[in-house]
Chains A and B, each alone.
Chain A
C-alpha cells in the first residue's frame, strides 16, 4: 500500500540524513521524497511517499518521532497531493503534433514550457496518479522522451 506522510523537522545540519538513514536501516522503502524549508520558521517539510502495510506505517511514524529533530509527523487521508512532471521530446518526433501535446498537457494543469531547435519540453502539475496517466499517454504516442518527476508534495485540506 502506498501512503504519503509529511514530516516537519528542524531545519538543521544532517536532518535529512537522519530521516533517510532511519528508512534504510529499518528496511522501509522511500518511493519519493521532497524537502524544502517552511518560510518564516526554523522548520523544513519533508514529504515522503512510502510503501508498506499499516503496521509498517505505524512503526515508520513512531521511529520518525523518535528522531530528535522531528517536530511533527502528519498522516492524513485528506491531503491535497500534487506532483510536477517534465517531459522532453526530440523536436523531430513531435513537430507535427504540438497542438495535440499542448491540448493534453492542459488537461493536466500544464503546457508546453519550452521549444528550441532540438527539443520540446512539456510540464504538468497534478495528482500523482493523474501524472501516471499523462506519462503513459505521452510514452505510448511519442518515442525517445525524457521524463523528470518531482516527487509528491502534499498539504492537509
Chain B
C-alpha cells in the first residue's frame, strides 16, 4: 500500500517506538501535523517557541537515554531551533529534528519561509538530510535515528519539502541499517588496553578524569567498581557529575575553572591522567602550555578526533568507555596494589582539607550555595536537577549532592542560557515519577519563560529555583574581577518581573523568598502543589563563584577564598 510522505514520517516514528514529539506547526510541515492528528500511538507536546521544543526534546533525551524528537516548520521554525540543536550537538545528545521545507520546486527561489536549512544546521548536527524523493524518506528516518544514537551520539536534522510530504511511496521501514562510510569503533584495541593497564599499574600519581562520555555509554557502575577497588583519585567534569556518588571517598569533586582545588591539583601533579570520555575542554585544562606537565595521558573516547586534539596522548584507546573498561577491569584488578597510591591520596586529601569547597554562610542574607545544599536535603535522592547557565549553574555543580548519572542536566559545551526550564519540562515528561528542579538565575529564566504554559497544559510540574541576585551574575563576577568593577549592562535590579504573579498568570505557582526559613516552606509547598513553580530566592547579590582558575591561567593558580589568601 502506498502512503504519503507525511504518513511515512508518522509510521516511521511509531516503528522507532517514539513516545513523544515536541514541536510547533507551520505551513511547510502542515501535512505531517495532519497525519499526527490522525494517530494516537505517540503524543505531541506543543511548545511555545521552537527553541523550547528542541530543549525539551534534549532534556527528555538526557533524562531517559532515548532519542529526543522535535518537529518544526521551515524558515523561522528551523532557525529558532538552531540554538537547541547546537546545544545538543556540543553535549553529544541524540536528537532527530524534522523540519518542513518549501516544495522542491520552490527551493532556491527565496520563497516565503524558505531558508537553506541544511546549510544552516550542517556544522551543528552530526549529520543532516534534505529529502528530495519520497522513496528515500523511510530509509533516511531510519538512518537518522541510527546515526543519532550510535557512536558518539548527536542531533540529526531531516529537512522535508512540502511536496515530498504529499507524494506517495510504498512504506518499507528497514529492519537494520548498514552504512559503508560509517562504522563506529566500540571495542577497544586489546594491545592498547593492555599497555594502558600496565601504565596505570606503574604510575605513582594516577587520576581518573571522568567526562560526559561515561554518562552516555552507561559506564557509571563499572567506573564506581574500578574506583572503589583501585582507590585511584578521581575528578569529574561538569558533564560527568553523578557518575560517582558525591560521598565517594575517592572523588575529589569537579575539575576545571570552578572545580575544587584538590581536583585541579590532582590534574596538575598527576603522572598519569586516565580520561574516560572527556575531551580536555579549555574550561578544564586552563592554560594549555602549563596543563598536566608531568602527566602521560590515557585517553579513552569513542570519537577518534578527540584523541590527541588538545593534548599529546601516549595511550590512545578508541572505543566505548563502558566496553573498554569491561576489558580493562580484570587486567587491572589482577595484581594492582591500591596502597601504591596511598601517598598520592594523602597529598590530595591534604589539599582538600586546606582548600575545601565552602562558602561563608550568613543569617542576614541568603547565600545561593546554601539554597543548593538545602534543596539537596529536601528533595528525594532521585530528583533530576537541570540548570541554566551562569553562576547558579556552577554552584549547583559544586554543591548539589549528586548520586547517579543523568541526574544533572545542563548545557555544558555551548552554555545556553534558557536551556534549563524547557529541558526540565522534557525531563519531567520522560520521568514523571521524579521531582525535577531547575536551578536558574534571574537572567536565564527570562529566556524561555513562555514555556510555563507548557508545564501547565501538559501537567509537567517542574520547580524553578531562581537564585535571584538581580545581576547577570557570572558576567558581573568577571567584570568585578577583570574589568575593575565596570558593570556594563549586567545590573538587572531596575526592572524585575513579579515572578509570583507571572507564574500565576500562566497556571503556575510562585513564591518569593527573602529569608532562609521561607525557603524550606516554599520548596515543600511547591513539591505538594503539582504545578509549575517559581521560587524567587533573593540571594546575596555580590556572591562570587569560587574557587576559580582565572581565564588563561594554569590550573594551579586558583583564586581561592578571601580568608584563605
User: How far apart sit A19 and B305, CA to CA, in the bound complex (Å)?
Assistant: 15
Q: B308 contacts A58, CB within 8 Å?
A: yes
The verdict on B374 contacting chain A, using a C-beta distance below 8 Å, is no
CA gap between A62 and B123 in the complex, in Å:
16
CB–CB A14/B122 < 8 A: yes
Inter-chain residue pair count (beta carbon < 8 A):
39
The verdict on B527 contacting chain A, using a C-beta distance below 8 Å, is no
B126, A68: Cβ atoms closer than 8 Å: yes
B123/A21 in contact, CB under 8 A: yes
A92 at the interface (CB under 8 A from B): no
When A17-B119, A17-B122, A25-B123 are in contact, do A66 and B305 touch as well, CB less than 8 Å?
yes
A-side contacts of B305, CB under 8 Å:
59, 62-63, 65-66
Does B536 have its Cβ within 8 Å of any Cβ on chain A? no
Those of B294-326 within 8 Å (CB) of chain A? 303-305, 308-309
**Contact of B304 with A65 in the complex, beta carbons under 8 Å:** yes
For A1-36 the 0/1 string (1 means CB < 8 A from B) is 000000001100110011001100100000000000
B541 within 8 A of A: no
Tell me if B179 counts as interface (CB < 8 A to partner A): yes
Is A68 within 8 A of B122, CB to CB?
no
With beta carbons under 8 angstroms apart, the residue of A14, A18, A55, A68 that contacts B147 is A68
> How does the 8 Å CB contact mask read for B172-196 relative to A, with 1 for contact and 0 for none?
0000000111100000000000000
Interface residue B118 (Cβ < 8 Å from any Cβ of A): yes
What residues of A have a CB within 8 angstroms of the CB of B126 in the complex? 68
Set of chain A residues within 8 Å of B308, measured between Cβ atoms: 55, 58-59
Contact between A68 and B132, CB atoms less than 8 A apart: no
Q: Is A70 at the interface (CB under 8 A from chain B)?
A: yes
Given contacts A62-B304, A65-B304, A68-B147, contact A14 B118 (CB under 8 A): yes
- Closest A residue to B312 using CB positions: A55
Contact: A70 with B123, CB < 8 Å? no
A10–chain B nearest beta-carbon distance, Å: 6
**Interface: B130 (CB within 8 A):** yes
> Would you call B130 and A13 a contact (CB within 8 A)?
yes
**Contact residues, B121-151 vs A (CB, 8 A):** 122-123, 126-127, 130, 132, 147
B122 touches A21 (CB 8 A): yes
A118 → chain B, closest Cβ, in Å? 37
- Whole-angstrom CA separation of A66 from B126 in the bound complex: 9
Q: How far is the CB of A83 from chain B (nearest CB, A)?
A: 28
- A10 with B181: CB separation less than 8 A: yes
Contact present for B181 and A70 (CB under 8 Å)? yes
A71 on the interface (CB 8 Å rule)? yes
Q: Using Cβ atoms and an 8 Å threshold, which residues of chain A touch B304? A: 62, 65-66
0/1 string, A23-57, CB within 8 A of B gives 1:
00100000000000000000000000000000100
In the complex, the answer to whether B182 meets A18 with C-beta atoms within 8 Å is no
Return chain B residues, CB-CB under 8 Å to A14: 118, 122, 130
* Tally of B interface residues using CB under 8 Å: 18
Chain B residues whose C-beta falls within 8 Å of the C-beta of A63 in the assembled complex: 305
- A69, CB-defined interface residue at 8 Å: yes
CB of A42 to closest CB in B, whole Å:
9
| A133 CB, min distance to chain B CBs, angstroms | 37
With a cutoff of 8 Å between Cβ atoms, the chain B residues found around residue A55 in the complex are 308
Residues of B within 8 Å of A9, CB to CB, are 181
Could you say which residues of chain B place their CB within 8 Å of the CB of A62?
Answer: 304-305, 309
Across the interface, B182 reaches (CB within 8 A) one of A21, A22, A59, A68, namely: A68
Q: Chain A residues near B118 (CB, 8 Å)?
A: 14
Q: Give the shortest distance, in Å, between A120 (CB) and chain B (any CB).
A: 40
| Nearest chain B CB to A54 CB, angstrom units | 11
- Chain B: CB-nearest residue to A62: B305
**A70: which B residues are within 8 A, CB to CB?**
181
Which residues of chain B are near A22, meaning CB under 8 Å?
123
Interchain nearest-CB distance for A112 vs B (Å): 41
> Chain B: which residue is nearest A22 at the CB level?
B123
Q: A58-B308, A59-B309, A62-B305 are in contact. Are A68 and B119 (CB under 8 A)?
A: no
A64 to chain B, nearest CB (A): 9
Cα distance A17–B309 when bound, in Å? 23
Q: Is the CB of A71 within 8 A of B130?
A: no
CB atoms of A13 and B132 under 8 A apart = yes
- Distance between Cα atoms of A58 and B123 in the complex (Å): 20
- Chain A residues with Cβ below 8 Å from B122 are 14, 17-18, 21
Which A residues are in CB contact (< 8 Å) with B123? 21-22, 25
- Tell me, in angstroms, the Cα distance from A99 to B308 when the chains sit together: 55
Minimum Cβ distance to chain A for residue B34 (Å): 27
Task: Report the separation of the CA atoms of residues A13 and B308 in the bound assembly, to the nearest whole angstrom.
Answer: 31
Per the bound structure, the CA–CA distance linking A108 and B325 in Å amounts to 58
A71: which B residues are within 8 A, CB to CB? 180-181
Residues of A within 8 A of B132 (CB): 13
B92 to chain A, nearest CB (A): 12
How far apart sit A98 and B179, CA to CA, in the bound complex (Å)? Answer: 55
A84 to B275, CA, bound (A): 48
> In the complex, which residue of chain B has the Cβ closest to the Cβ of A69?
B181
Q: How far is the CA of A25 from the CA of B120 in the complex (A)?
A: 13
* Minimum distance in angstroms from A138 CB to a CB of chain B: 40
Q: Which residue of A lies closest to B119 (CB)?
A: A17
- With A62-B305, A62-B309 known, 14 other A-B pairs at CB within 8 A are A10-B180, A17-B119, A18-B122, A21-B122, A55-B308, A59-B305, A59-B308, A59-B309, A62-B304, A63-B305, A65-B305, A68-B127, A68-B147, A68-B181
Report the 10 A-B pairs with minimum CB-CB distance, sorted nearest first: A62-B305, A68-B127, A71-B181, A25-B123, A68-B182, A62-B304, A66-B305, A63-B305, A69-B181, A21-B122
10 A-B Cβ contacts within 8 A? A9-B181, A10-B180, A17-B122, A18-B122, A21-B123, A58-B308, A59-B305, A68-B182, A70-B181, A71-B181
B residues at A contact (CB < 8 Å): 118-119, 122-123, 126-127, 130, 132, 147, 179-182, 303-305, 308-309
